[in-house]
Chains A and B, each alone.
Chain A
Amino acid sequence: MDYGLDTKSTRLKTFNTIFIITWLLIACFPFIWTFWGSFKVRADFFSRSDWWYAISAFNTLVETGGKFTTNAYTEAWTEGEFWKASKNTIIVTVFVVSISLFLGTLGAYALSRSTEKYAFWILMIALIFRAMPHITLVSGYLFPFFELQIWGILPTTIVVLVAINQPFTLWLLYSFFKTVPKELDESALIDGCSYFQAFRHIIMPVMWPGVITAGLFSLMLAYNDFTVTALLLNQENHTMVPKIQSYLGTNQHEGNLMWAVSAVVSATAPLFMLVMFFQRQVISGLTAGAVKG
Chain B
Amino acid sequence: MPNKTFFWFFLPTGLAMILFIGLPIISTGIQSFYAQHDQVVKEVKKCDPFGCTVSIVVDNEETTKIRDAKPLGKFNGFGTYTDRNHLAVDEIKKFWNETESFGAFVDQVTNLPFYKALIFTLTYCLFVTPNVLLLGFIIALSLNAVARKIRGPLIFGTILPMIVTPLVGSLVLFWMIDSQGIIGANIQNLMNDPYLSLKSSKTLTWITIIIYGIWHHSPFAFVVFYAALQTVPQEPIEAAIIDGASRLQRIKHIVLPHIYPVVTFVALISLMDNFRVFEPIIGFSAEGSAQSLSWLIYDNLVNEEVILFGSAAATSMMTIIGIAILLAPVLIRTWKEFKTAR
**B-binding residues in A (CB < 8 A):** 1-3, 5-6, 8, 12, 16-17, 19-20, 23-24, 26-28, 30-31, 33-34, 37, 45-48, 50-51, 54, 102-104, 106-107, 109-111, 113-116, 119-120, 122, 124, 126-144, 146-147, 159-160, 162-164, 166-167, 170, 195, 199, 220, 223-227, 231, 241, 244-245, 248, 260-261, 264, 267-268, 271-272, 275-276, 279, 282-284, 286-287, 289-291, 293
Contact = CB atoms under 8 A, between A and B. Distances in A.
B208 interface: no
B196 interface: no
A241 B167 contact: yes
A287 B227 contact: yes
B17 A163 contact: yes
Contacts of B231: 291
A137 B21 contact: yes
Contacts of A287: 223-224, 227-228
Contacts of A106: 9-10, 12-13
A245 B54 CA distance: 45
B270 to A, nearest CB: 12
Contact of B142 (A16, A134, A268): A16
A136 B282 CA distance: 17
Nearest to B189: A51
B178 A46 contact: yes
Given A27-B158, A287-B223, A164 B276 contact: no
Contacts of A129: 17, 21-22
Interface residues of B, number: 108
B246 to A, nearest CB: 11
Contacts of B13: 103-104, 106-107, 166, 170
Contacts of A6: 237, 241
A33 B172 CA distance: 8
Given A3-B238, A139-B309, A291-B228, A133 B157 contact: no
A114 to B, nearest CB: 5
Which among B24, B215, B242 has the highest number of chain A CB atoms within 10 Å? B24
Given A103-B12, A245-B167, A276-B156, A139 B312 contact: yes
Interface of B: 1, 3, 5-6, 9-10, 12-14, 16-17, 19-28, 31, 71-72, 138-139, 142-146, 148, 152, 154-161, 163-168, 171-173, 175-176, 178, 180-182, 185-186, 215, 219-220, 223-224, 226-229, 231-232, 234, 237-238, 241-242, 247, 261-262, 265-266, 272, 275-276, 278-279, 282, 285, 293-294, 297-298, 300-302, 307, 309, 312-313, 316-317, 319-320, 323-324, 326-327, 331, 334, 338
B320 A136 contact: yes
Given A26-B215, A140-B27, A291-B262, A272 B160 contact: yes
Given A241-B167, A267-B168, A163 B16 contact: yes
A130 B273 CA distance: 10
A111 B23 CA distance: 22
Given A30-B172, A48-B180, A163-B19, A3 B1 contact: no
Contact of A133 (B19, B185, B275): B275
8 contacts: A34-B175, A107-B13, A107-B14, A110-B9, A133-B293, A137-B20, A143-B71, A227-B298
A226 B167 contact: yes
Contacts of A140: 23-28, 31, 313, 316
Contact of B17 (A17, A26, A126, A144): A126
